[in-house]
């Protein structure tokens, strides 16, 4: 292995931390870049300086794991080239393009481990752009980072484990949660139970959250169809069709909305990794082998950025990706440890497929979306405009629809509307989602300051 091989890890969540630790243990000094100010990633997000909550208050049942990941990262200080507050906005030809404040830089790499996690998966709903509607992730960030509730009477709508977890965290923190409205019917969840028993502890934890919510007087409804968020200038309530077909309006001043997570795949796309369609999660994901190797030599993807398997799996896949990078650089790696990690990852994967079956995306909801509903918030594109682009202008897939309507062309670069747009193209054409394609990533993947200073040298 060359002494000067440079391994760069993007992301300091559980996957990035474990990748960096394995690289350091092998004698390397990796570069670790994260756009956040502190390590920990999403689930183990650290509170801002000056906040005094204990790990148990912040992370609940996950406190020990959070402390372990934080300690592992803190032990790396001085042994890694850590660059917090630094966004990676492009990858091209063995070079990362970064932005730290106003300062733009280029970072060369021999091996790149992309561990950038996931973000909320959203489905548009009439009224979802009103002030007071938050994604589930944002609702949790308000609580974890700032100890704030998104409202004084909150309703959570969507599906997936995060729906119940965030509602439970709100109740525990003393917030008033009026209802949790799940789009998945109870029967669908029960059918998936045999797949979920591969991780009985996690399954039990989910059930405990639901029981605690009931005990706290939170109304739990399954099999609902969300119709609209009510209000003119602010949220006044949310109207849904219940499983028995009756309509009901739930009064609230804030809505937390979310349907699982979507892997952050733009950097892998810009690095020209090959993608494959994943049926259970209805997403295109970078193709990786068991250790996180992509189709591009020297590029690895780990954690939720490869597939949303959760924090435990992120730690496993981060370490696996580091071993893969080390092996490909000519290092000897601990074969028995790698085999154990691979085995553990398979179990996590089985469970994740069970979760996808237990809480499927309610795509029928999109078929019924009124034409006037905003689909792309950044560019103010409605569902009707996208349907017209498909039906009248002949867009056969989502990239053509983007060119014709500007859907996904704004600040979020399709990170929030891209999957829903593809679903709507597929529903309008009556073709499988796979055929509606995926929005291709474009740099910069996130907004940059226009007055940035650029450094000529690659660092
Ligand atoms: C908002 C949110 C809340 C969640 N809450 C929970 C929870 O309570 N319980 C649970 O079990 N799971 C939760 N999850 C899922 C859980 O976070 C993941 O399973 C786990 O954190 C994945 O670890 P990771 O290392 O892959 O990614 P993450 O923990 O997401 O870490 C990714 C890191 O990459 C950085 N990054 C991303 N893009 C860039 C870029 N372009 N340039 C530089 N840095 C970048 C981010 O700042 C982040 O620190 C949540 C996910 C989200 C999105």
Q: How confident is the model at residue 423 (pLDDT cuts 50, 70, 90)?
A: very high
Q: What are phi and psi of 166, to 5 degrees?
A: -65, -40
pLDDT at residue 1 tops 80: no
Residue 18 burial (C-beta neighbours within 10 Å; 0-12, 13-18, 19+): buried
Nearest CA to ligand 1 atom 20: 311
Centre of ligand 1 to C-alpha 41, Å, is 5
Mutate to test the pocket of ligand 1, among 116, 139, 315, 349 (most ligand atoms within 8 A of CB): 116
Q: Which tokens in the block code for residue 240? A: 């849904």
Interstrand relation of 374-376 and 381-382 (parallel, antiparallel or unpaired): antiparallel
pLDDT at residue 63 tops 50: yes
Centre of ligand 1 to C-alpha 262, Å, is 11
- State the CB neighbour count (10 A cutoff) for residue 191: 12
Which atom of ligand 1 is least distant from the CA of 304? 26
pLDDT attached to residue 48: 85
Mean pLDDT of 365-389: 94
pLDDT attached to residue 416: 92
117 in ligand 1 pocket by Cβ < 6 Å?
Answer: yes
pLDDT attached to residue 457: 53
Mutate to test the pocket of ligand 1, among 8, 13, 172, 443 (most ligand atoms within 8 A of CB): 13
Q: Cis peptide leading into 444, omega within 30 of 0? A: yes
- Report which of residues 178 and 353 the model is more confident about: 178
Mean pLDDT of all residues belonging to the chain: 94
- State the CB neighbour count (10 A cutoff) for residue 160: 24
Query: Which superfamily does 122-259 belong to?
Result: FAD/NAD(P)-binding domain (3.50.50.60)
pLDDT at residue 453 tops 80: no
pLDDT attached to residue 196: 85
Q: Please state, for a pLDDT cut of 90, what percent of the chain lies above it.
A: 85
Of 12-21, 54-63, 378-387, which gets the smallest average pLDDT? 54-63
Q: Where in the chain is the domain with CATH 3.50.50.60?
A: 7-119+262-333, 122-259
Mean pLDDT of 12-40: 97
Q: Cis peptide leading into 328, omega within 30 of 0? A: no
- State the CB neighbour count (10 A cutoff) for residue 117: 23
pLDDT at residue 86 tops 50: yes
pTM of the model: 0.95
Partners of 374 in the β-ladder = 382
Rg (CA), the chain: 22
Partners of 157 in the β-ladder = 181, 257
Q: Which tokens in the block code for residue 357? A: 């079956």
Q: Which tokens in the block code for residue 127? A: 């009224």
Partners of 158 in the β-ladder = 182, 258
165 in ligand 1 pocket by Cβ < 6 Å?
Answer: yes
Mutate to test the pocket of ligand 1, among 21, 38, 42 (most ligand atoms within 8 A of CB): 42
pLDDT attached to residue 125: 95
Mean pLDDT of 272-288: 96
256 in ligand 1 pocket by Cβ < 6 Å?
Answer: no
Q: How confident is the model at residue 364 (pLDDT cuts 50, 70, 90)?
A: confident
Interstrand relation of 225-230 and 86-92 (parallel, antiparallel or unpaired): unpaired
Q: Where in the chain is the domain with CATH 1.10.10.1100?
A: 369-436
Mean pLDDT of 115-128: 96
Nearest CA to ligand 1 atom 19: 310
CB contact at 8 A, 77 and 84: no
Centre of ligand 1 to C-alpha 303, Å, is 9
Nearest to 376 by CA among 367, 386, 368: 386
Q: How confident is the model at residue 144 (pLDDT cuts 50, 70, 90)?
A: confident
Mutate to test the pocket of ligand 1, among 69, 84, 117, 166 (most ligand atoms within 8 A of CB): 117
- CATH 1.10.10.1100 assigned to domain 369-436? The reply is yes
Q: Please state, for a pLDDT cut of 70, what percent of the chain lies above it.
A: 98
Mean pLDDT of 338-356: 93
Q: What's the CATH architecture for 7-119+262-333?
A: 3-Layer(bba) Sandwich (3.50)
Centre of ligand 1 to C-alpha 302, Å, is 11
Of 58-62, 212-216, 280-284, 312-316, which gets the smallest average pLDDT? 58-62
């Amino acid at each position: 292995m060359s002494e000067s091989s440079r391994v760069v890890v993007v992301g300091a969540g559980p996957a990035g931390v474990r990748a960096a630790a394995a690289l350091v243990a092998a004698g390397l000094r990796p570069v670790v870049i994260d756009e956040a100010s502190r390590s920990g990633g999403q689930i183990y997000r650290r509170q801002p300086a000056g906040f005094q909550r204990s790990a148990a208050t912040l992370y609940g049942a996950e406190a020990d794991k959070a402390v372990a990941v934080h300690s592992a990262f803190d032990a790396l200080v001085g042994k890694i080239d850590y660059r917090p507050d630094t966004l990676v906005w492009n990858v091209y030809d063995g070079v990362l393009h970064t932005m730290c404040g106003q300062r733009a830089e280029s970072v060369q790499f021999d091996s790149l481990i992309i561990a950038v996690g996931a973000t909320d998966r959203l489905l548009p709903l009439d009224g979802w752009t009103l002030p007071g509607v938050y994604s589930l992730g944002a609702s949790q960030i308000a609580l974890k980072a700032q100890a704030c509730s998104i409202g004084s009477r909150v309703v959570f709508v969507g599906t997936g484990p995060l729906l119940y977890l965030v509602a439970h965290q709100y109740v525990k923190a003393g917030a008033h949660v009026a209802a949790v409205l799940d789009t998945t019917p109870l029967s669908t969840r029960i059918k998936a139970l045999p797949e979920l028993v591969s991780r009985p502890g996690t399954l039990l934890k989910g059930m405990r959250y639901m029981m605690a919510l009931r005990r706290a007087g939170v109304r739990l409804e399954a099999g609902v169809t969300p119709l609209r968020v009510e209000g003119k200038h602010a949220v006044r309530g949310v109207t849904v069709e219940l499983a028995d077909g009756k309509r009901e309006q739930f009064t609230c001043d804030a809505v937390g909305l979310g349907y699982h997570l979507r892997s952050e795949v733009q950097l892998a796309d810009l690095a020209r990794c090959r993608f494959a369609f994943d049926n259970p999660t209805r997403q295109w994901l970078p193709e990786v082998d068991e250790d996180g190797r992509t189709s591009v030599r020297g590029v690895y993807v780990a954690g939720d950025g490869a597939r949303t398997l959760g924090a435990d799996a992120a730690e496993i896949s981060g370490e696996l990706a580091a071993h893969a990078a080390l092996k490909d650089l000519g290092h000897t790696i601990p074969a028995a440890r790698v085999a154990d990690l691979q085995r553990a990852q398979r179990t996590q994967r089985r469970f994740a497929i069970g979760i996808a079956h237990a809480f499927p995306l309610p795509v029928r909801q999109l078929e019924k979306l009124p034409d006037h509903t905003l689909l792309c918030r950044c560019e103010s594109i409605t569902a009707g405009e996208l349907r017209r682009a498909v039906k009248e202008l002949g867009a056969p897939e989502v990239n053509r629809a983007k060119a014709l309507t500007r859907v996904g062309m704004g600040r979020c670069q399709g990170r929030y509307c891209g999957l829903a747009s593809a679903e709507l193209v597929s529903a309008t054409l009556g073709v499988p989602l796979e055929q509606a394609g995926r929005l291709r990533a474009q740099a910069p993947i996130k907004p940059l300051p226009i007055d940035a200073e650029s450094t000529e040298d690659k660092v």
